[in-house]
Structure 1
Amino acid sequence: MITWRLEKINNQYFLKMNNQKSIKLPMLFRPSVILTLVSIFCFSLLSAQSDDKNVAKIEKTVTELYKAMVDKNKAILQDLTMDELTYGHSSGTIENKAEYVDGVLNGAFQFTEITPKDQTISISGKVGVVRHIFEAKGTNNGKPADVRIGCLLIFQKEGGGWKLLARQAYKL
């Protein structure tokens, strides 16, 4: 049976096998270095799991926001957007929160369906960045209309949820 023993002599670490000659360990294999590396590895695993949960929460928030736009649900629209919202249309028009909510509820375009395509979500601290192709069906001044534009959404974490802080659409 092979046995290994770690010895510390004069602040240097040695590995001894079966009571044979000791092998001096390089700095990388010292217990404090190993502990630090293991801690960093564990923290990065926890952080990755946290990001996965936040990505799922943001994805759910996008779905809820678009459903609220179709349903014209004022309470949900207000709840899922920050007071500082800046909402940019592909035409160049910029709206604040009140203008955005009013536009959804009373504007010329009435959504019947909104579908995000090719969506990507990334997280950086308390900020989530969403990119997708915004495809929608509805009516514009009573006439059937389809929309297909690029969209960038910025969400900010507030409490346990995510709220829309900025949106910019662009023509494809």
Structure 2
Amino acid sequence: MIKKLIFAIGFMMAVSVSAQKTSDKEAVNAVAEKFRLAMISGEKPDLESLILPELTYGHSGGHIDDAKEFVEKLVSKKSDFVTIDITNQTLNIVGNTAIVRHHFYATTADAGKAPGDVTLDILLVWVKVKNDWKLLARQAVKAEKKK
């Protein structure tokens, strides 16, 4: 009887953990999509609601923005994303941290310049704070050329 009870409790805990992980994955995917849309809109409240004050935002050219600089560049249209397409996204959750990788293709109109194209591979690090996922780090690298 005790063995059956222990098995049942263990099974329920495993199901609960699995359901939580699925729920977290759905939440991270949703917040990543909100982040993509906020980068296009450049709306300050939307951007600030998705990031931590400690954000480190690495560009493919080596420059690193803090949270304030990241938001200001998008709000002022110094960095202006007209479109952003995300493909090949992967997601791994470890505790309260989510690691998201994807291919990023965007058209830009930075500071009123002629339209440009950006093709990058991105790493995002999201942290669960209370019940919300917030962006802690982002790093871009130039996408590997296809052979």
The TM-score with structure 2 as length reference comes to 0.89
CA apart distance, 1:60: 0.9
Match of 2:69 in 1: 99
> What is the CA RMSD across the aligned residues, in angstroms?
1.4
Return the index of the structure with the highest Cα Rg.
1
- 1:150 maps to amino acid: D
Partner of 1:124: 94
Structure number with greater CO (CA < 8 Å, separation at least 6) is 2
Residue 133 (structure 2) aligned to one of 139, 159, 162: 162
Structure 2 gap segments, 5+ residues each: none
Partner of 1:153: 124
Instruction: Kindly indicate whether residue 43 of structure 2 is the aligned counterpart of residue 69 of structure 1.
Output: no
Which residue does 2:114 correspond to in 1? 143
Distance 1:44 1:147 in 2: 43
Give the CA deviation at 1:35.
2.8
Question: Structure 1 residues 134-143 or 75-84, which shifts more?
Answer: 134-143
Higher fraction of strand: 1
Q: What's 1:22 paired with?
A: none
Paired amino acid for 1:81: I
Superimposed CA distance per residue, residues 72-114 of structure 1 (whole angstroms, 9 cap, x where no aligned partner) = 1100111100011111111111111001101112253311111
Q: Whose helix proportion is higher, 1 or 2?
A: 2
The 5-angstrom pairing of residues 4-153 of structure 1 reads 31-141=1-111, 142-153=113-124
- How many residues align? The count is 142
Gaps of 5+ in 1: 1-30
TM-score normalised by structure 1 residue count: 0.77
